[in-house]
Amino acid sequence: MTNTNPVILVVNAGSSSVKISVYVVPESAHENVDIQPTLVAHGQIEGIGVAPRLVARMADGRSVADESFPVEQVADHDAAFRLIRLTLQIGLRDTPPVAIGHRVVHGGIDFADAVRIDDDVIARLETLIPLAPLHQPHNLTAIRAIRGAAPDLLQVACFDTAFHAGHDPMAQLMALPFEYYERGIRRYGFHGLSYAYIARRLQQVAPDLAEGRVIVAHLGNGASLCAMRGGRSIDSTMGLTALDGMPMGTRCGTIDPGAVLWLAAQGMEPDAIQAMLYGQSGLKGISGISSDMRALLASDAPRAKLAVDFYAYRAAQEIGKLAVTLGGLDGLVFTAGIGANSPDVRARICAHLADLFGIALDAAANSENCQRVSRDSSRVPVLVLPTDEEGMIALSTARILRESGGL
């Protein structure tokens, strides 16, 4: 591939994986901030430190790499990032990037928008590690690795919390002594990059609905819901951390804080409690089988069914709560891995909402993951929209690159 337009890398570093997407900034984006950079390649390494596997493809589906590696060769995120970057650059004929955008899970009270990364930003993000222990350390590892290899390269942090930054205090408060709120102990909300994309996408596919009261269900291994009015976040099911809200693949969601106090009183160490709440609970904890919704739906085990039913029940409850916040409901959107690809889960959730909101799914459209899966007679339209968090990161990175004179 020969390219004369600027190239942006988007990095999404998880607990056991590193994903990198390569975008080209179109000529027209130099003046128009709303022009979406074009995806040209994507790669990821999974199983870092356990069973590393690299898969990389061009946007047209052409394979660049599909290879497994010895653990010692990809033992940590630094090694993973170097390998995947080299692989993608070979596929792009060594076209150097002019900027790199990172998904950063927690921005705290300091960051309400994407920001250029410097030493001060890194220092402030480090203080938020206890609030996002599964994600923030790995986000920072990728940032430091690039700063070490290319200190002059523009890096941009794009935050999962930023889309929710304008919440009213009613949506942020927890009933602790107020001094803790002033110190930043408040409900933030997450998956903001996904919700920002869906708000943008709704403007394109259903502009009238986008101006109304919409609940978006981002259902994946991590899961949350967001109440939007006029394309802005009003409230979210997640709170101070990405542990709150509905149950997830391995995360517990909302629980009585007294349960945590009981575990501590029984002698369970804080690290063990954290490991259980983040990694051994949710679908995996209830079913005793798997955190993978597909495996649970395929299983005949009673606890697998219990886990799926509880997941749908809690999602419906959260939709009801957010509808109260909005003062009604004009539309429901499902997105992310489960939300966009599991007709069964959507049907189970919507069955709980039928009487209250008059939601009626079209069975055929739902089974095919159509864009609109509700019947014409449904009082509330139900849509399925795949999300694109990496695309939103690329858009924000291109904006900051433009503001810095790089375009």
Alpha carbon distance 112, 144 (integer Å)? 22
From 194, 240, 201, 244, select the one nearest 217 (Cα to Cα): 194
Alpha carbon distance 287, 59 (integer Å)? 37
Longest CA–CA separation in the chain, Å = 63
DSSP string over 140-161: HHHHHHHHHH-TTSEEEEEESS
Burial 371-392 (b: 16+ CB within 10 A, else e): ebbbeeebebbbbbbbbbbbbb
Alpha carbon distance 357, 371 (integer Å)? 20
Neighbouring C-alpha atoms within 13 Å toward the C-beta of 184: 12
Question: Under a CB-based contact definition with an 8 Å cutoff, are residues 91 and 84 in contact?
Answer: no
Q: CA dist 400 to 3, 115, 393, Å? A: 21, 8, 11
| Active site annotation includes 160 | yes
Q: Which of 110, 160, 309, 330 is catalytic?
A: 160
Alpha carbon distance 243, 222 (integer Å)? 9
Catalytic residues: 160
